[in-house]
Amino acid sequence: MEFRQLEYFIAVVETGSISAASRRVHIAQPALTRQMRLLEESVGTQLLDRHARGIHLTVAGKALYSEATRLLDERSDIKARLLALGSGQTGKLSLGVTVTHLWLPEVAKLMGGYRERYPKVALDVFPLLSGPQLDRLQQGSLDVGILYLDDDMPSGIDAQLLQHDHLVLAVPASSSWAESPPASLAALCDAEFVWGYRSISPVYFDRVVAHFARLNFEPLVVQYGADNLTILSMVAAGLGLAIVPAASRCHPMSGIVFIELEELSSCDMPLWLAWRSGEEPPVLKNFIDLATTLFI
């Protein structure tokens, strides 16, 4: 029994005759008659009572008609679902985004645009620092991440450069620095800073420290925060100054003034889109293509 024979059988039942069915399915009457006999032989019982005025269904024929229409509908549904999966129209995608960039306009457009184009894809978003993102990508528990990476890509990771960021100085709005910004980092040698732990984002931390070493600047750190959002909240509370990515200005947080310094602007902080090498399912490929369009 083949799906093609079932389609022919349904056509015979619904048109009421072999001749009408042959016109509907576009095959000759003798060929269609032969296919109906082969179908009956394959199921081992008579399906059609043939007479001069047409055909009548036997009890077995009525049962097969009901089952055949269900099977063909299920086949169409399976084909449609497989096609949707194969083109990335359905599925699931887990995305990591650094806390700093959750409010970046391009990231918001990327997430919103992806959802609009592929509404049946479940997009799970995880606010994670670069270090944890990289760990999860390598472990396979994250599909794609927006994060800081070194120029030398980690083993097993492919990446696409999204944009170049730089550093800015964040000061409490109530501080004297907000009214009279420093001209250089040298003016901040005695200022108290809020800083982050290296363990939570080694790539970001090392890049910043290396830049300060070239400038012969070492901040006086008196407080630590778990991520840039926490650090900024501590700055807003007056606990110290902070040096953060310029993208931090996109976050809607009051009580902070951001100051551009040439020495900080010269520190390139490239933002990357990263995923596991050799793994590019359709849902991920569509996301990468859209990200490239929006950022580049």
Say what the pLDDT of residue 242 is: 97
- pLDDT tens for 254-287 read 999 999 999 999 999 999 999 999 877 888 999 9
Token output for 56: 């009548």
Contacts of 188 (CB under 8 A, 6+ apart): 169, 182, 217, 219, 241
Say what the pLDDT of residue 86 is: 66
Instruction: Indicate the CATH number for domain 3-86.
Output: 1.10.10.10
Residue 47 CB neighbour total at 10 angstroms: 22
Are the C-beta atoms of 211 and 82 separated by less than 8 Å? no
Going from N- to C-terminal start, the domains of the chain cover 3-86, 90-164+270-295, 167-267
CATH fold, domain 90-164+270-295, is D-Maltodextrin-Binding Protein; domain 2 (3.40.190)
Q: What is the mean pLDDT of each run of 10 residues along the chain (296 residues)?
A: 83 85 88 88 85 78 85 74 65 91 92 92 91 91 92 85 94 94 94 91 89 94 91 95 94 91 94 89 92 85
Separation of alpha carbons 162 and 270, rounded Å: 8
Say what the pLDDT of residue 117 is: 92
Instruction: Indicate the CATH number for domain 167-267.
Output: 3.40.190.10
Please tell me if the domain spanning 90-164+270-295 has the same topology as the one spanning 167-267: yes
Distance of CA 43 to the CA centre of its chain: 48
User: Could you give phi then psi for residue 252, rounded to 5 degrees?
Assistant: -75, 80
Of 166, 135, 137, 131, the C-alpha closest to 149 is 131
* Adjacency order of strands within the sheet including 157-165: 120-127, 90-97, 144-148, 269-276, 157-165
**Alpha-carbon torsion 180, 182, 188, 190, what sign?**
negative
Say what the pLDDT of residue 95 is: 95
